[in-house]
Amino acid sequence: MARVRTRTRAHSQAHSRAHSRAHSQARTPARVRPRTRPRLPVLELAPEAHRPPLWSRALGLAAVVLVGAWLGLLIVGNVRAEVGPMDTTMTLRPSLTGGTKINVSPLGALYLDTHTGPVRLDVNVDQLDPVRSQALVDHPERLSGLQDEVAHDVEHGTLDLAVRSCVAVVTGATALGLAVYRRPRRALAAGGLALALLASSGATAYATWNPESVLEPRFSGLLSSAPALVGNARSIVTEFDVYQKELARLVTNVTKLYDVTSTLPAYSPDPATLRVLHVSDIHLNPASWKIIASLVEQYKVNVIVDSGDTMDHGTAAENGFLDPIADLGVPYVWVRGNHDSLTTQRYLSRMKNVHVLDDGRAETIAGLRFAGIGDPQFTPDRSTAPGGDAAEELAGDRLATALREQRAADTPVDVAIVHEPSAARMTDGEVPLVLAGHLHHEQTEILSHGTRLRVEGSTGGSGLRAVEGKYPDPIEASILYFDRGSRRLQAWDEIRLGGLGETTAEVSRHLPADVFDQRLRRGQPGATPSSADSPSPSGGTPGTPSPSGS
């Protein structure tokens, strides 16, 4: 009861005070009543009500980190690096699949599945540095260490790229965080998260690194036709156009090296000596023309002999491949191989400075008399059954008959040309020298009646077949030296180059036995006869090579 009374008395007092204020205000005149604004209610909320949800804040911070890191990489996250003779630009880019992209402008790009991760390595090949490229040409011995040099350059460039990328992502994320949040602590947190993201991406790339991916590239642009050109993409580890140009120059430098050393037999060709370049089985390899042009210039070649299989299918679409012959600057003597068609033969016969020999026809070219016959078989044509050795021997008989007729007319032939060695054997005793190809490797043999058979290797490195085996086939050619007066063979140099992607070169010199005997009678040391001057029951063996350069 006491509590109730207390509450009632307090209530009564409050009511009395309120009634007194209202009564006094009623008696105050209206003109002196003070103006007062009504007081609005003040709402006080809890501090947590000002903040967005936690997931929204995390999402916003992640967006700031990603966008800032990407902008940093885009603006300053690239490195210019010298890789061998090339100037390149290396960059990291955000990616969903990872990998490496190599841009070879304007030819296209190569894509390598090197790693899995949220970043991709972009390498732009900007240009070939002329000074460093010329240094390789002037000093071919540096090619042997080029692979190690390139590996070191790539490693150094990648390390520089990693450091610069760390700085770029931290700077970009921090700057964007400061612009968005206007709080240094938040900005530093964004930069730290960006660095952690890049570090985790690098760790993922390292854990998933696949060095074998370079053997299975994907192509875009003009480079997308590269697998069709060379047959097997697993063997493409160097850029083909650069390779063919530099390999041609390598030949020139290697031959110069041999000219100033004493490792070759001491045969010094007279300036009036006739020099014949023998090539065969080019099989549509475009590198062959640059190599042939280099040999023509270095050896001062008087005439080129091609013993066939210049093409691969003999179609009219391939005819444009033959156009560089017109720019070689010396007569080009050609016979048809089993991969060359009559379409090919007609196209060449209309070309200036090309001499097509067939059906035993003979011509005197650059002081030597040549006669030849085309291969009777055409391998790409599946509509007719090949004639085999019987057809080749029949063609050889026809050529031998033509050689006898030339001798009877007092215009003896100095060099006969066929494609198949089995056809060449039918000319034994009718001509001093017969040249052939087809086998894709060099060999020399003295036939039973004294005719020398020289089989040339593939000057095209077997063409598209070069990448079918474990190792690429070598590129082979020969320089034949003839005495201008007697028109007899005095010596020959066998030239052997490493196949696709290789950088080796060998030059070996051989002297016929009669030239060797003459030198002994004259007391001139240093000459070594070719082992091919002794008949071999196995079909002849190549001459023993002298020391080679690489």
Tell me what pLDDT residue 42 has. 55
Is 59 or 143 the better-scoring residue by pLDDT? Answer: 59
CA 163 centroid distance within chain: 30
Would you say 463 and 231 are in contact if contact means Cβ atoms under 8 Å apart? Answer: no
What does the alpha-carbon distance between residue 117 and residue 98 come to, in Å, rounded to a whole number? 5
Predicted confidence band of residue 90 (pLDDT cuts 50, 70, 90)? confident
Q: What is the mean pLDDT of the chain?
A: 75
pLDDT digits (tens, 9 = 90+) for 16-63: 555 555 555 545 454 555 565 666 565 555 555 556 777 777 788 888
Whether the predicted pLDDT of 4 surpasses 60: no
**Pairing between strand 100-104 and 119-128?**
parallel
The residue type at 56: S
φ and ψ of 45, to 5 deg? -100, 165
Highest mean pLDDT among 13-17, 208-212, 217-221: 208-212
Q: Residue-wise over 19-42: b if at least 16 C-beta within 10 A, else e?
A: eeeeeeeeeeeeeeeeeeeeeeee
What does the alpha-carbon distance between residue 38 and residue 94 come to, in Å, rounded to a whole number? 60
Residue where the block lists tokens 């030597």 = 368
Rg (CA), the chain: 42
CA 151 centroid distance within chain: 16
What does the alpha-carbon distance between residue 114 and residue 97 come to, in Å, rounded to a whole number? 10
Predicted confidence band of residue 226 (pLDDT cuts 50, 70, 90)? very low
Q: Residue-wise over 50-76: b if at least 16 C-beta within 10 A, else e?
A: eeeeeeeeeeebeebbbebbbbbbeee
**In the 8-state DSSP scheme, what is residue 34?**
P
Tell me what pLDDT residue 140 has. 57
Q: Which segments of 164-261 are extended strands (E)? A: 218-221
Whether the predicted pLDDT of 454 surpasses 70: yes
Tell me what pLDDT residue 337 has. 95
pLDDT digits (tens, 9 = 90+) for 249-262: 545 444 444 343 33
Tell me what pLDDT residue 355 has. 98
What does the alpha-carbon distance between residue 335 and residue 307 come to, in Å, rounded to a whole number? 5
Least confident among 227-241, 352-366, 415-429? 227-241
Torsion angle in degrees (nearest 10) through CA of 227, 440, 505, 302: -110
Cα-based angle 435, 277, 353 (whole degrees, multiple of 5): 100
Is 452 or 530 the better-scoring residue by pLDDT? Answer: 452
Other beta carbons within 10 Å of 492: 26
Least confident among 38-52, 390-404, 463-477? 38-52
Tell me what pLDDT residue 365 has. 97
